[in-house]
């Protein structure tokens, strides 16, 4: 998923009103922020295979260090511990942030074909295959995205014009990239995927900027 991960960050804001949306975006996208680095280093591998699923031509053939259930659990713990500075309710915040990171694997389980490992070196691969249907993906993931947007917008009134423009430009960008996926030509190479994937690091920064200009209720 892509927009679905953003939905989790947006919907989590009322639960963690003192946390910047940038931190929540970093949490929900963490696995995909690390993956391009590992891909470019040759530690993980993706192949371009049009028809692999209806929604994406990418075949994720080897990514145990970022996308196995065991390593996602480890990344969840590491991220939540690193983000604990200034926590008003440390245990609650730790559990919520870890859950947001781990939600990435759950949503990928829903969308991917069986290619998600349980642990590095394991032979079991899981995936429910939502991506096998473009209409089903658009309905399910689109519903999640719209729900997340509604929750965030209702819980964070804008302080100024920037709070409106920064947020909606970010949401339009995410939605546009996501919707165009199945209708775009395949990427030229795995290296290009990794290079473009590094640009995802802009998303938490953009989300942080937008969130600075909004006033979360309950903070």
Give 93-102 pLDDT, tens digit per residue. Answer: 899 999 999 9
In this structure, what DSSP letter does residue 189 have? -
| Residue indicated by tokens 């991220």 | 79
Is 146 part of a structural domain of the chain?
yes
- The residue-averaged pLDDT of 62-83 equals 95
- Which of these ranges, 57-61, 116-120, 203-207, 214-218, has the smallest mean pLDDT? 214-218
pLDDT of 179: 94
pLDDT of residue 86: 66
217 assigned to some structural domain: no
| Res 140: pLDDT | 97
| Residue 114 in tokens | 């069986």
- Is residue 119 included in any domain, yes or no? yes
The average confidence (pLDDT) of the chain is 94
Host domain of residue 133: 3-212
Q: Please give the tally of structural domains in the chain.
A: 1
Residue 155 lies in a domain: yes
Residue 218 lies inside a defined structural domain of this protein? no
The answer to the question of residue 39 being in a domain is yes
Residue 140 forms part of a structural domain:
yes
CB 84 within 8 A of CB 93: yes
């Amino acid at each position: 998923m892509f927009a679905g991960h953003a939905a989790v960050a947006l919907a989590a804001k009322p639960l963690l009103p003192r946390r910047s949306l940038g931190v929540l975006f970093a949490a929900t996208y963490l696995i995909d922020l690390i993956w391009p680095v590992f891909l470019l280093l040759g530690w993980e591998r993706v192949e371009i295979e049009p028809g692999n699923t209806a929604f994406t031509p990418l075949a994720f053939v080897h990514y145990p260090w970022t996308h196995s259930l065991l390593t996602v659990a480890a990344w969840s713990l590491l991220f939540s511990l690193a983000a604990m500075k200034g926590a008003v309710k440390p245990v609650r915040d730790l559990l919520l942030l870890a859950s947001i990171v781990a939600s990435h694997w759950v949503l990928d389980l829903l969308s991917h074909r069986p290619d998600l490992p349980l642990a590095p070196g394991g032979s079991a691969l899981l995936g429910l295959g939502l991506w096998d249907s473009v209409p089903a993906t658009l309905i399910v993931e689109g519903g999640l995205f719209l729900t997340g947007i509604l929750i965030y917008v209702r819980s964070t009134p804008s302080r100024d014009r920037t709070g409106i423009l920064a947020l909606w430009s970010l949401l339009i960008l995410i939605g546009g990239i996501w919707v165009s996926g199945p209708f775009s030509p395949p990427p030229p190479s795995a290296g290009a995927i990794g290079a473009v994937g590094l640009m995802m690091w802009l998303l938490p920064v953009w989300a942080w900027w937008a969130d600075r200009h909004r006033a979360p209720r309950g903070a």
